[in-house]
Amino acid sequence: MEAGAVLILGFLLLLLFFLSFQATSRQGLGRLPPGPAPLPLLGNLTHNVLPLYHSYRRLCQEYGPIFTVWLGPRPTVVLCGSEVLRDALVEHNKEFSGRALVPVLDHLSSGYGLTNGNGEQWRQLRQFTLSTLRNLGMGKRTVEERVQEEAWHLTQAVTEKQGHEFDPQPHLTRAVANVICSMVFGTRYSSDNKEFQELLRIIASYMCFFRSFHAQLYNIFSGIMHFLPGWHRRIFRDYDRLRVFIRAQVASHRSNLDPGAPHDFIDHFLLQQAKEQGKEQSEFGDENLVALTNDLFIGGIETTSNTIQFALLVLSKFPEVQARVHRELDRVVGRAQRPALRDRLQLPYTNAVLHELQRYLDLVPMSLPHTTTCPTAFRGYCIPQGTTIIPLLASVHFDPDSWETPEEFNPGHFLDENGAFRKRDTAMPFSAGKRMCLGQGLATVEIFLFVTTLLQSFTLELVTDPGAIDLASLRRAFRGQGLAYKLRAIPRPA
């Protein structure tokens, strides 16, 4: 048989397999939501154009707030709009709380940790992590003091610029990372520490990869991509180095552990590990500790530092907004004392600005994929158990039915008619439900204290013409590969 005929026959067999797989997957459990027709083997790859949230927002307009796309031969249900997301993630949290397999994460974590976990392991580790972070002072004075200390170091670093232009990104990343380091390792690092610099490089490289088309291809075709050369191999090697660093920290903590005075997250985990020694089944092994530490670093550094970086950019672009925040800070906090969490209730405009910054930036426009834990009847559709679910957070934050001016930066979205701060259920920067970001409390503290401490001391100015800054384009850059820009921090007169 000629080679061409063999290729045609092979393609037809693959097509037959795909069509039978697709037909089988739709049988027995009712109907999936509507969506674009998939191609053989490729599914809706042509519709999955980066950035995905843009493609899915367009499909939402065509097919409605619940639709299906095929990633290769696998169906994925996308949820849009605050009403649908809250219904799924909060009201039906048991059915939608599974974590879908993300091959990149699965390869890196080997099934350990929280990010890619499910079942009893995930439940126990999540409960322990939340409890431990509370014990370390999440939302309490101890964490507030850690953040205030880093805010002071940040202010000193900015003061040394003497009003000259500088890139705030590395300073913010180090400040946020040191908060995590103090909570997890019990240590803060100087900016010139080589291990610290390598840690930040690996995390930045990983986040850049995770948002790339290369990572999307790996997640769809992992069975093939795993054996091919490419960017993913470099990321896997870097991740191995990160694990080696964390294991060294664990070994050091174990040799110096004082059971009566645990200082940080690793100490608390090791104490729990000792309590469960001898148990036939325990989730508190070293591999879960290493994976959990990775989860805290990767989830807690870049997202928070990028949000603060964007906040400084927006405040520099809108000097009238910055001036109003200055006036409110001067009236409530003054200059003699540092901003504190207790001040938030008396800073409605500042609070509204920070909430609007998070809505408008929409830094995580798509939540990590969920999966249905059982056959699920939802809003007229029957979604099979194990179906991948993508909550489209961007559809919530730019919904014209929920926001007066969704495409504009408008602090008034979070103020009532009397100028008091109002909370909006239609804002979900940390997602919602059981899979809501564990670090929400810490991130909220960091964003508030870092921004207010800087504005207490400085007036921020862009190096370029503020009118030439297109925030929509810059917002996409922040979500993608990150953005470097320069500003001046002019010391405010006493």
Query: Residue 319, preceding bond cis, omega within 30 degrees?
Result: no
* Number of separate domains in the chain: 3
Element (H, E) at 153: helix 141-159
11: in domain: no
The residue-averaged pLDDT of 318-326 equals 98
Q: Are residues 317 and 256 in the same domain?
A: no
According to the model, what pLDDT value does residue 323 have?
98
According to the model, what pLDDT value does residue 49 have?
63
Q: Are residues 460 and 449 in the same domain?
A: yes
According to the model, what pLDDT value does residue 134 have?
84
- Annotated binding-site residue numbers: 437
88: in domain: yes
Listed in sequence order, the residues at least 6 apart from 241 whose beta carbon sits closer than 8 Å to its beta carbon are: 198, 202
Alpha carbon distance 374, 377 (integer Å): 10
CATH code of the domain containing 45: 3.30.43.20
Residue 247's domain comprises 111-136+187-262+264-298
- Annotated binding-site residue numbers for heme: 437
Tell how strand 381-383 and strand 458-462 pair up.
unpaired
Q: Are residues 119 and 254 in the same domain?
A: yes
Q: Are residues 240 and 165 in the same domain?
A: no
Mind listing the pLDDT tens digit for each residue in 9-51?
445 445 545 444 444 444 444 589 999 988 887 777 766 666 7
Alpha carbon distance 388, 76 (integer Å): 5
Mind listing the pLDDT tens digit for each residue in 371-414?
999 999 999 999 999 999 999 999 999 999 999 999 999 999 99
10: in domain: no
Q: Are residues 335 and 381 in the same domain?
A: no
Q: Are residues 64 and 120 in the same domain?
A: no
483: in domain: yes
Q: Are residues 166 and 70 in the same domain?
A: no
Total number of residues shown for the chain: 494
Question: Given the structure tokens 């550094």, which residue do they identify?
Answer: 301
CATH code of the domain containing 420: 1.10.630.10
The residue-averaged pLDDT of 75-85 equals 96
According to the model, what pLDDT value does residue 133 have?
87
Amino acid present at 275: K
Q: Are residues 238 and 96 in the same domain?
A: no
Closest CA to 488 of 444, 452, 454: 454
Is pTM beyond 0.85? Reply is yes
Q: Are residues 382 and 451 in the same domain?
A: no
H helices of 256-369, in order, are: 265-275, 286-300, 302-317, 319-332, 348-361
Q: Are residues 393 and 464 in the same domain?
A: no
Q: Are residues 163 and 310 in the same domain?
A: yes
pLDDT band at 7 (very low <50, low <70, confident <90, very high): very low
5: in domain: no
180: in domain: no
119: in domain: yes
Mind listing the pLDDT tens digit for each residue in 426-464?
999 999 999 999 889 999 999 999 999 999 999 999 998
141: in domain: no
Q: Are residues 251 and 210 in the same domain?
A: yes
Mind listing the pLDDT tens digit for each residue in 202-217?
999 998 888 888 888 8
Amino acid present at 449: L
Residue 33: Cβ within 10 Å count: 21
